[in-house]
A = this chain, B = another copy of it.
Amino acid sequence: MTDIKEYLQRGKALVETALDRNLPREDDPPARLHQAMRVSMLAGGKRLRPILCLAAAEAVNPGADALLPALSLEILHTYSLIHDDLPAMDDDDLRRGRPTCHVEFGEATAILAGDALLTLAFELMGRCAAPPPWMPLQLVTELAQAAGSRGMIRGQMEDMQGENRSLGAEEVRSIHLHKTAALIRAAVRMGAIAAGAPPEVVDSFSVYGEKSGLAFQIMDDVLNETSTPEELGKPVKSDRDRGKSTWCGIYGVRESQRQAAELIDEAVAAVRETGLQTATLEDIARFLIQRRS
């Protein structure tokens, strides 16, 4: 476990340095917009999606360069948080212990900063042709499909429509699969594709991504019930206060934890059968369900 914590720390530092270099400068006009984009991007976070993208690429080919897809995933994730936090959406004032983008910069700037980050994610992908056996534009397609109205945004929409209604297990599963797992799945797929993995390897990585993404979100629900505000950096039991149906609400904390652990076992088995060097991906998956924040 020490090793994987170190790996994640190193990955986080690498991603943050590269983000800093690839974001528009703060003095580049419009300065206030670029400031809002930078503050939101550099406000911390686990950097899980870019790290998974890099780890997937390494598993396929230790010399592969998946930095741009990794950054685009984190940039896209951050735009989704900014828009999710808006008053018309989740109306959150705090994120990682700091004021959210619209609280610090105003709502209009937050909308535009999110739009600009989403656009920037694709601008970076425009600098990154996928190698054979893939078509050059495959990474653009992967990112767009995972993030679009049948992927992540579907999850956000269903999440919002589910407020103050009691959802069934399949509905909560659909929210988690789309809102969270779709982008985590895209992260490992894009890493593998950027490293030139054959389609069957990408398929196995997809299974890993979807299952560990779902487990990750189940654990988010568990932590929202069992963690402290100090550990989590944001209010606990907020889902319940907001009238959101959660995995724990349906299955309870203990059974949710069991299911998350089972999903991680399946995720690990899926990458292991590729015969590649997937120890890091396996350790990250296991770490996802042991974290406290």
Measured CB to CB, the residues of A under 8 A from B are 24, 28-30, 32-34, 37, 79, 83, 86, 88-89, 106-109, 111-112, 114-116, 118-120, 122-123, 125-129, 135-138, 140-141, 143-145, 147-150, 153-154, 156-158, 160-161
Contact = CB atoms under 8 A, between A and B. Distances in A.
A18 B269 CA distance: 44
Given A122-B122, A126-B137, A83 B115 contact: yes
Nearest to A76: B119
A144 B122 contact: yes
B148 A123 contact: yes
Nearest to A102: B88
Contacts of A115: 79, 83, 114-115, 118, 153
Residue with the highest number of chain B CB atoms closer than 10 Å, among A79, A88, A127, A161: A88
User: Copies of this chain, how many?
Assistant: 2
A89 B147 CA distance: 24
A101 to B, nearest CB: 12
Nearest to A107: B88
Nearest to A118: B118
A226 to B, nearest CB: 29
Given A30-B158, A108-B89, A119 B118 contact: yes
- Report the 4 A-B pairs with minimum CB-CB distance, sorted nearest first: A123-B144, A126-B141, A88-B107, A116-B149
B126 A144 contact: yes
Nearest to A110: B88
